[in-house]
């Protein structure tokens, strides 16, 4: 696929992705193991790798039960949210109200009751629900046609950004199929039991620095998150991006860069960008030297297309779009937020760019058991397409005589970042 065969290999990257395709949830032993494996890979190149730890909110749920008591009796499978409030040991007997998307009119008279809400509880939905003071929140996931043994019931988390702003609650998740039954059969009274504990865990960023030969005071930052969610082997999202930047590190080790390069593999991205938030906070002073953040998040589906999202001044999008055309690389370039570790950098004034290869509809899966390379919808060749684009782009900007991207974030983008981080 490329003309840098001595230093960069999509096949080697893909093999490393397969080797690291196991569930790597924030603060778990597997996340720690993956960090160690990535650090080993860096050290085998003869470079130094630092594993920087940070505290991340986590917790355990040892029991979650939902039993309908009237007008019929039935126990349903539910998962408790990580960092849900626990119930008393015998559970809570509650009246059930289906509140759809939790509009104010849906929430009338919900105080002290259990509310069943559509799909995922977003920040704004959580805000509205908490004002109504229910005793428990039930969300649902999956599709009403799912067969139980083919789909895992999501384990979700009450994020600190939510609970910090609006307080915590008893929260469980049920399948969409069962949610449908609850509403169709008019479930009115139920008992919910959650045994849960909340605590701080330790998560890790893997970091490596290569000093620049000509402009050491200007740093280009590379990032990719290596954690996954429950039930997902996290190959597509995002060991694919992690191994792509590993190949870039290999390239720049062999071809010393004019600017300083910071390579970071972030932990706990899936829990709200915790790794990149921790890194930008711990290295706030250094960030004034960062001229660009390059993030890779999702790659490798055979049937897919290349997307690039820029977060900077308006000119940045045009520059990248023109470069892709000049190189003859098919990539859609947009100026927009990409929900990944690039956001905390943009929030600190560092322009950021996200490279990804999205699967065509129905051909690639994230955040579930089908994010698994053994299913055959990913390939080294497809991963190589993104690798090639990121490498071509990176070589040019890293070694440019004058850095081509202004260190500026447009007001419109600042506004989007503020909204994304729930400040507006």
Nearest distance in Å: CB 371, Zn ion: 10
Stretch that binds Zn ion, among 24-32, 111-119, 272-280, 289-297 (CB under 5 A): 289-297
Q: Is 85 in the site for Zn ion (CB under 5 A)?
A: no
Nearest distance in Å: CB 31, Zn ion: 14
Q: Is 237 in the site for Zn ion (CB under 5 A)?
A: yes
Our CB check for Zn ion shows the closer of 138 and 356 to be: 356
Nearest distance in Å: CB 257, Zn ion: 26
**DSSP designation for 210:** E
Nearest distance in Å: CB 238, Zn ion: 4
Stretch that binds Zn ion, among 53-61, 247-255, 292-300, 377-385 (CB under 5 A): 292-300
Torsion of CA 241, 247, 252, 254, to 10 degrees: 170
Our CB check for Zn ion shows the closer of 78 and 352 to be: 352
Q: Are the beta carbons of 221 and 209 closer than 8 angstroms?
A: no
Q: Are the beta carbons of 138 and 97 closer than 8 angstroms?
A: no
Q: Is 154 in the site for Zn ion (CB under 5 A)?
A: no
Stretch that binds Zn ion, among 12-20, 31-39, 104-112, 290-298 (CB under 5 A): 290-298
Task: Scan residues 87-116 and list those touching Zn ion (CB under 5 A).
Answer: none
Our CB check for Zn ion shows the closer of 97 and 293 to be: 293
Q: Are the beta carbons of 270 and 227 closer than 8 angstroms?
A: yes
Q: Is 341 in the site for Zn ion (CB under 5 A)?
A: no
Q: Is 297 in the site for Zn ion (CB under 5 A)?
A: yes
Our CB check for Zn ion shows the closer of 178 and 347 to be: 347
Q: Is 371 in the site for Zn ion (CB under 5 A)?
A: no
Q: Are the beta carbons of 172 and 80 closer than 8 angstroms?
A: yes
Stretch that binds Zn ion, among 35-43, 49-57, 236-244, 351-359 (CB under 5 A): 236-244
Stretch that binds Zn ion, among 18-26, 46-54, 229-237, 401-409 (CB under 5 A): 229-237
Q: Which of 108, 103, 82, 95 is nearest to 182 (CA)?
A: 95
Report the Cα 5 to chain-centroid distance in Å.
31
By CB atoms closer than 10 A (0-12, 13-18, 19+), residue 109 is exposed
CA angle at 158 for the pair 235 and 144, rounded to the nearest 5°: 65
Nearest distance in Å: CB 200, Zn ion: 23
Stretch that binds Zn ion, among 140-148, 231-239, 257-265, 356-364 (CB under 5 A): 231-239
Our CB check for Zn ion shows the closer of 79 and 238 to be: 238
Q: Is 238 in the site for Zn ion (CB under 5 A)?
A: yes
Nearest distance in Å: CB 345, Zn ion: 16
Nearest distance in Å: CB 146, Zn ion: 23
* Count, residues near Zn ion per rule CB under 5 A: 3
Our CB check for Zn ion shows the closer of 84 and 228 to be: 228
| 312's tokens | 């900077």
Our CB check for Zn ion shows the closer of 80 and 241 to be: 241
For residues 107 and 342, what is the distance between their CA atoms, to the nearest angstrom? 36
Our CB check for Zn ion shows the closer of 297 and 368 to be: 297
**DSSP designation for 160:** H
Residue 326 makes CB contacts below 8 A (sequence gap 6+) with: none
Residue 152 makes CB contacts below 8 A (sequence gap 6+) with: 230, 231, 368, 369
Nearest distance in Å: CB 25, Zn ion: 13
Nearest distance in Å: CB 340, Zn ion: 6
Torsion of CA 389, 393, 398, 403, to 10 degrees: -170
Our CB check for Zn ion shows the closer of 342 and 399 to be: 342
The angle that helices 380-398 and 10-19 make with each other, rounded to 10 degrees, is 110
| 71's tokens | 């007008």
Q: Which of 89, 139, 94, 93 is nearest to 114 (CA)?
A: 94
- Which DSSP string corresponds to 135-156? SEEEEEES-TT--GGGSPPP--
User: Helix (H, G, I), strand (E, B), or coil: what is residue 392?
Assistant: helix
For residues 218 and 224, what is the distance between their CA atoms, to the nearest angstrom? 20
Our CB check for Zn ion shows the closer of 24 and 65 to be: 24
Nearest distance in Å: CB 228, Zn ion: 9
Binding site for Zn ion (CB under 5 A): 237-238, 297
């Amino acid at each position: 696929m490329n003309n840098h065969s001595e230093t960069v290999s999509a096949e080697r990257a893909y093999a490393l992705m397969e080797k690291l395709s196991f569930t790597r949830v924030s603060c778990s032993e597997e996340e720690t193991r993956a960090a160690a494996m990535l650090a080993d890979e860096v050290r085998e190149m003869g470079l130094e790798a630092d594993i920087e730890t940070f505290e991340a909110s986590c917790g355990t749920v040892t029991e979650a039960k939902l039993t309908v008591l009237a007008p019929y009796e039935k126990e349903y499978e539910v998962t408790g949210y990580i960092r849900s409030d626990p119930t008393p040991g015998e559970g809570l007997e509650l009246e059930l109200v289906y509140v759809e998307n939790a509009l104010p009119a849906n929430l009338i008279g919900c105080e002290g009751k259990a509310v069943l809400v559509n799909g995922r509880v977003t920040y704004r939905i959580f805000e509205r629900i908490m004002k109504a003071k229910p005793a428990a929140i039930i969300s649902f996931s999956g599709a009403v046609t799912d067969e139980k043994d083919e789909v895992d019931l999501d384990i979700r988390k009450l994020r600190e950004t939510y609970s910090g702003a609006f307080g915590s609650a008893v929260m469980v998740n049920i399948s969409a199929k069962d949610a449908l039954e609850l509403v169709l059969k008019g479930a009115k009274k139920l008992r919910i039991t959650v045994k849960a504990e909340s605590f701080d865990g330790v998560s890790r960023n893997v970091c490596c620095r290569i000093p620049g030969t000509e402009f050491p005071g200007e740093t280009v930052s590379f990032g990719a998150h290596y954690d996954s969610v429950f039930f997902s082997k996290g190959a597509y999202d995002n060991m694919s991006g992690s191994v792509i930047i590993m190949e870039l590190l290999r390239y720049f080790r062999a071809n010393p860069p004019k600017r300083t390069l910071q390579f970071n593999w972030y932990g706990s991205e899936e829990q709200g960008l915790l790794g990149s938030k921790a890194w930008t906070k711990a290295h706030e002073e250094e960030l004034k030297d960062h001229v660009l953040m390059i993030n890779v998040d999702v790659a490798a589906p055979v049937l897919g297309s290349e997307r690039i999202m820029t977060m900077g001044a308006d000119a940045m999008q045009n520059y990248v779009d023109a470069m892709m055309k000049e190189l003859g690389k098919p990539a859609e370039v947009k100026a927009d937020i990409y929900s990944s570790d690039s956001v905390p950098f943009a929030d600190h004034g560092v322009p950021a760019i996200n490279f990804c290869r999205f699967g065509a509809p129905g051909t690639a899966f994230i955040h579930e058991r089908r994010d698994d390379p053994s299913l055959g919808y990913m390939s080294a060749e497809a991963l190589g397409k993104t690798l090639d684009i990121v490498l071509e782009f990176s070589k040019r900007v890293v070694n440019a005589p004058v850095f081509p991207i202004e260190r500026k974030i447009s007001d419109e983008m600042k506004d989007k970042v503020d909204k994304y981080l729930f400040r507006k």
